[in-house]
């Protein structure tokens, strides 16, 4: 039974005090999770230490701490970056890489992301690997080819065993991130099914069925249940709606 996940990506938002209040509020009110469910809080780097204490002290099971990015090198002259050993020291379980904002604003290539993948696997982290197409690609109806290239160039050197152990795919159509425009359930299911078919062709149907694929892009409490009910959608990577407990909790509840 593959994992069902809701991950909150706080991006560059909240102070330490605000983040603590948000975590305390969500965790205290969230329902008990099934054994194959995870809720991951991907907080800003400055909040990781405090967030780790809150998560560890909670009596709730299957909640984890996530980071929003990392460098592939363990140390060095990379001003402003953060290494995987630094993240490990503060209890990080999962790391987002390949988010469209990192690709667009910071020029992160599929090759660079491949190096990050290998470094994170060596450190035994769960990877939330983002993929997704911009509007012009969707309008040209070449989104499947675009996403296929992202996955092939960064992930398909992995063995099936390593892939299943470490990789969670998050499909985020760039045209739907933070815009209020959400892919229809048909569009989301179509792309998720395409990704799973690609995994089956590259590896095996059995392996493809084990991989968790999340949807991201203006997912909220009103549409989460419908999106998560799609056969190949296993949860969500949530941006803006993760910043308020009253908006994030219904999304977590939609996993059930």
In the structure, what pLDDT confidence band is assigned to residue 202 with cuts at 50, 70 and 90?
A: very high
Q: Is the pLDDT of residue 105 over 80?
A: yes
- The percentage of the chain sitting over the pLDDT mark of 70, rounded to a whole number, equals 100
Q: Is the pLDDT of residue 182 over 80?
A: no
Q: Where are the beta strands (DSSP E) in 27-136?
A: 37-42, 63-67, 94-97, 126-131
d(CA 128, CA 28): 25
Does residue 172 carry a catalytic annotation?
yes
* Half-sphere exposure at residue 181, Cβ-oriented, CA atoms within 13 angstroms: 8
Look-up of token digits 């999962």 = 94
- 101, 108, 133, 172: the catalytic one is 172
In the structure, what pLDDT confidence band is assigned to residue 184 with cuts at 50, 70 and 90?
A: confident
How many of the other CB atoms lie within 10 Å of CB of 221? 16
| Residue 235 falls in which region: left (phi positive, over 0), alpha (psi -120 to 50) or beta | left
Q: What is the pLDDT of residue 250?
A: 97
Q: Which one, of 56, 136, 138, lies nearest residue 92 by Cα?
A: 56
Helix 143-155 and helix 110-122: axis angle, to 10°? 40
Q: How far, in whole angstroms, is CA 108 from its chain's centroid? A: 17
Tens of pLDDT, residue by residue over 62-95, are 999 999 999 999 999 999 999 999 999 999 999 9
Q: How far, in whole angstroms, is CA 129 from its chain's centroid? A: 6
Tens of pLDDT, residue by residue over 14-44, are 999 999 999 999 999 999 999 999 999 999 9
- The pair of structure tokens assigned to 225 is 């249940």
Q: Is the pLDDT of residue 59 over 90?
A: no
Taking residues 130-140, report their average pLDDT: 93
- 99, 101, 108, 192: the catalytic one is 99
pTM over 0.75: yes
Q: Is the pLDDT of residue 256 over 90?
A: no
DSSP-derived pairing of the beta strands 37-42 and 94-97: unpaired
Tens of pLDDT, residue by residue over 150-181, are 999 999 999 999 999 999 999 999 888 777 77
State the fold for domain 4-253. Answer: TIM Barrel (3.20.20)
Are the C-beta atoms of 182 and 141 separated by less than 8 Å? no
Give the chain's mean pLDDT.
Answer: 96
Q: Which one, of 126, 117, 57, 61, lies nearest residue 92 by Cα?
A: 126
Q: What is the pLDDT of residue 181?
A: 76
Does residue 61 carry a catalytic annotation?
no
Residue 38's DSSP bridge partners are: 5
């Amino acid at each position: 039974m593959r994992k069902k996940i809701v991950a909150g990506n706080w991006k560059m938002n909240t102070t330490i005090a605000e983040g603590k209040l948000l975590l305390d509020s969500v965790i205290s009110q969230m329902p008990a999770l099934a054994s194959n469910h995870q809720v991951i809080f991907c907080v800003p780097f400055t909040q990781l230490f405090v967030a780790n204490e809150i998560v560890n002290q909670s009596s709730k099971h299957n909640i984890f701490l996530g980071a929003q990015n990392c460098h592939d090198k363990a140390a060095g002259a990379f001003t402003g970056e953060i290494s995987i050993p630094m993240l490990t020291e503060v209890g990080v379980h999962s790391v987002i890489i390949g988010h469209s904002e990192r690709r667009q604003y910071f020029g992160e290539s599929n090759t660079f992301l491949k190096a990050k993948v290998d470094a994170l696997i060596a450190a035994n982290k769960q990877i939330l690997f983002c993929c997704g197409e911009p509007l012009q690609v969707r309008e040209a109806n070449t989104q499947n080819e675009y996403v296929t290239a992202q996955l092939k160039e960064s992930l398909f050197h992995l063995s099936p065993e390593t892939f299943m152990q470490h990789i969670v795919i998050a499909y985020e159509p760039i045209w739907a991130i933070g815009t209020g425009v959400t892919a229809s359930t048909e569009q989301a299911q179509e792309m998720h099914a395409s990704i799973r078919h690609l995994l089956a062709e590259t590896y095996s149907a059995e392996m493809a069925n084990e991989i968790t694929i999340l949807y991201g892009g203006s997912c909220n409490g009103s549409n989460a249940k419908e999106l998560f009910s799609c056969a190949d959608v296993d949860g969500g990577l949530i941006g803006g709606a993760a910043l308020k407990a009253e908006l994030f909790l219904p999304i977590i509840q939609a996993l059930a």
